[in-house]
């Protein structure tokens, strides 16, 4: 899965969240828009488990009001 970027801008909040899957690893980068943010990587036992986790995280972010940016 290519990197997908989401942003939440409302009131005084302006933050981003990115997710990338690479085989059995899921990497998330998040923080304030304009910063480098923080990065976390999780490893899974299979590609399918990693993809399932990524889709669950994306669904949760969309439910919180994040909007996906178009791929560049």
CATH number assigned to the domain with residue range 4-68, chosen from the 4 options 3.40.50.300, 1.20.140.10, 2.60.40.10, 2.20.140.10: 2.20.140.10
- pLDDT (tens digit, 9 = 90+) per residue, 42-53? 999 999 999 999
- pLDDT (tens digit, 9 = 90+) per residue, 32-42? 999 999 999 99
66, 8 contact by CB (below 8 A): yes
* The dihedral formed by the CA atoms of 61, 69, 52 and 2, expressed in degrees to the nearest 10: -150
Please give the model's pTM, rounded to 2 decimal places.
Answer: 0.90
Q: Which residues does 6 contact at the CB level (< 8 Å), separation at least 6?
A: 16, 17, 18, 58, 61, 62, 66, 67, 68, 69
């Amino acid at each position: 899965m290519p990197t997908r970027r989401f942003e939440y801008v409302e009131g005084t909040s302006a933050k981003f969240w990115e997710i990338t899957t690479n085989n059995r690893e899921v990497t998330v980068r998040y923080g304030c828009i304009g910063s480098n943010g923080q990065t976390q990587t999780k490893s899974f036992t299979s590609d399918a488990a990693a993809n399932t986790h990524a889709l669950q995280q994306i669904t949760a972010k969309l439910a919180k009001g994040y909007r996906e940016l178009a791929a560049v």
